[in-house]
Structure 1
Amino acid sequence: MTPTATPFDPFASHATFKYPEPSTVKAAYPLSKKSKVPDSIVRPNYARESVRDTLAYWWQFFASRNIRVNSEADQEGVRKAAKLAREVLQIAASKVAPGVTTDEIDKVVFEEAIKRDCYPSPLGYHGYPKSVCTSVNEVICHGIPDQRPLQDGDIINLDVTLFHHGFHGDLNATYPVGPKAQEDADSMLLIKTARECLDAAIAICGPGQPYAEIGRVIQPLAESKGCAVVKRYTGHGISRAFHSAPTVYHHRTKKAYGIMQVGHIFTIEPMLNWGSEWRDLSWPDDWTVSTVDGARSAAAEETLLIVENGVEILTAEGGSRFIDTRDARNAREEVKRKRKAEADVDDSDNVQ
């Protein structure tokens, strides 16, 4: 795509905002015009404009505060959306290369979504202007596609969500840009660790598992590899609503609630910063979030369904994939029992 005007940074002279130091990514406006969705595409409630649909949106919002047990029909609806989202992510990832702008990738995601009779879920969600989130280098999440060309040595996270006939499917992955990035050991370790944290958390999901266990698995693994877990952004329930309960924390916290049940559908999407700094910085566009120190960030995400004996990865490459997690969950429970027993012994020794 040829920019319609010379790219400029709208935040260069902002009164209170400063990019993190050192910064490799800055906004490159103007943003291209909002993509026009064909009338034939079924839209989510937030993308419709009528009083009735506004009321339906709020009804859905309040209902989404409880963890939804999805019917078999709803599970199949998310399964289809998730499969299509995976296809579009893979096509978008194939376009990642030095010199390509994130706006060009956004156009690919939009066009491929429409081809599949899908609405790109981010478009218009609370005012988000694009069809995909493109987070480059130190950007943690929600990066807005713009006129910045990717550079050899960058890394980029592509976060794709599609809405297909009433259901959302959501996933993301982080990719190296060009040979320099592939030769950058720290960047490749960061990308690999984000995926390993996701896989480790998926491996202990199943009926009866507290959602709090996800953060208890991810945080120590991430820190053992020299990464910090972003705390302000989480996974979430997903189905008919884009974001719903439960809130899926990726770090240890007492705020996590809920027990996994058959029929729960949710995402796990750990965001990791290179180093020990987990805090984030919000840009004036009210969407883009970066690290506070300019360190790189990477993430990985899948949409998951809790089933008997384990979990189904709905967004898995090649189609949904079932994992029997009974052995992993039993092993984790045994470790927890041993730790509790050791703690009880220590406490009794202290009393004596």
Structure 2
Amino acid sequence: MSEIIIKTPEQIEGIRQSSKLAGQCLVMIEEYVKEGVTTDHLNNLIEEFIRDHKAIPATVGYNGYPKASCISLNEVVCHGIPSPTEVLKEGDILNIDVTTILNGYYGDTSRMYTVGEISKRAAKIVDVAKHCLDLGIDQVKPGNHLGNIGFVIGRYAKANKFSVVYEFCGHGIGLDFHEAPQVDHIARRNSGPILQAGMTFTIEPMINEGRPTTRVDKYDGWTARTSDGKLSAQFEHTILVTNSGFEVLTDVIGEY
């Protein structure tokens, strides 16, 4: 992969604005996530919202991907393609992942949603996935090793008897959809490049109930499911390394 880009203040502000829009999109869609709704309907609302804000959904046409978002239900790990025949039902958990291009800058975020009453096991994996992201973010500061993000995520997931997907990872973002560095969510302590102020990248751990491996549906070439059919959960933010630590650029609810 190419060299890690240290962003200028002007570029950081552009990435910040795009990331804010992506975060707002996930807040907007929450009220529509309910039993009986199709994932295609959610996708259409997302695309309309992004375009109404003078931005472009980055996934449309990306390597042939057909939709403005990825919506991944239950055992789908990532890259679920919204469909008019996929209807939400009681007990579902789902990840909605959006990437915006605003004035040429990229912002990328995802989170889990639940439909009605979910099982205790489903609630547990959603909680663990969120805490894995939070632990990873806490490792972001100048001078730390990038690999420590994956180290703490892997340790916590294992302690809770879940596994971490290693076939997909986080990535640099901002001037392009996917940049250096590759952000692994399971890694050795003190491995990888040293973090520097001005880096922007995603942290997006995918946590599986069973085995960490995935299989991609042959009929669409995108939808990645757990290889054992068990549940998966994921949260994602776009992060800026600052002089003193981090800024979560896609956090629009003041969580961090």
Q: TM-score range by the shorter chain?
A: over 0.9
Shift of 1:319: 5.8
Residue matched to 2:108: 170
**Contact persistence 1:237–1:246 (CA under 8 A):** yes
Is the CA contact 1:83–1:319 (under 8 Å) kept in the aligned structure 2? no
Deviations 1:59-94 (A, max 9, x none): xxxxx7111100000000000001111111111222
The CA deviation string for residues 242-295 of structure 1, in whole angstroms up to 9 with x for no partner, is 0110000001259x63211010000000000013x1010111111100001110
Secondary structure in 2 matching 1:163: strand
- Could you tell me which runs of 5 or more consecutive residues in structure 2 were left unpaired when the two chains were aligned: none
Answering whether residue 19 of structure 2 is matched by residue 82 of structure 1, we say yes
Aligned counterparts of 1:139 and 1:318: Cα–Cα separation in 2: 27
For 1:219 and 1:131, the matched residues in 2 are separated by 30
**Alignment partner, residue 280 of structure 1:** 214
Q: How far apart are the structure 1 equivalents of 2:229 and 2:31?
A: 27
Which residue does 2:153 correspond to in 1? 218
Q: Determine if contact 1:246/1:257 at 8 Å carries over to the other structure.
A: no
Instruction: Supply the RMSD in Å over aligned alpha carbons.
Output: 1.5
Give the TM-score normalised by the residue count of structure 1. 0.70
Q: Residues 227, 320 of structure 1: CA spacing in aligned structure 2 closer, same or farther, 3 A cutoff? A: closer
Query: Which residue does 2:74 correspond to in 1?
Result: 137
- SS of 1:294 mapped into structure 2: coil
1:173-212 correspondence runs (5 A): 173-179=111-117, 181=118, 184-212=119-147
Q: Name which one, 1 or 2, has greater alpha-carbon Rg.
A: 1
**TM-score with structure 2 length normalisation?**
0.96
| Residue equivalent to 1:325 | none
Task: Indicate which of 247, 268, 271 corresponds to 2:203.
Answer: 268
- The question of 1:161 aligning with 2:99 is answered yes
* Greater relative contact order (Cα < 8 A, sep 6+): 2
Q: 1:119 aligns with which of 43, 52, 56?
A: 56
Q: How many residues align?
A: 254
How far apart, in 2, do the equivalents of 1:162 and 1:93 lie? 18
Matched ranges for 1:22-171 at <5 A: 65-146=2-83, 147-171=85-109
8 Å contact kept, 2:204–2:236:
yes
Which structure has the highest helix share of the two?
A: 1
Query: Any conservation in 1 of the 2:148–2:188 contact (CA below 8 Å)?
Result: no
C-alpha separation between the residues in 2 aligned to 1:152 and 1:128?
28
3-state SS, counterpart of residue 178 of structure 1? coil
Identity of aligned residues (%): 38
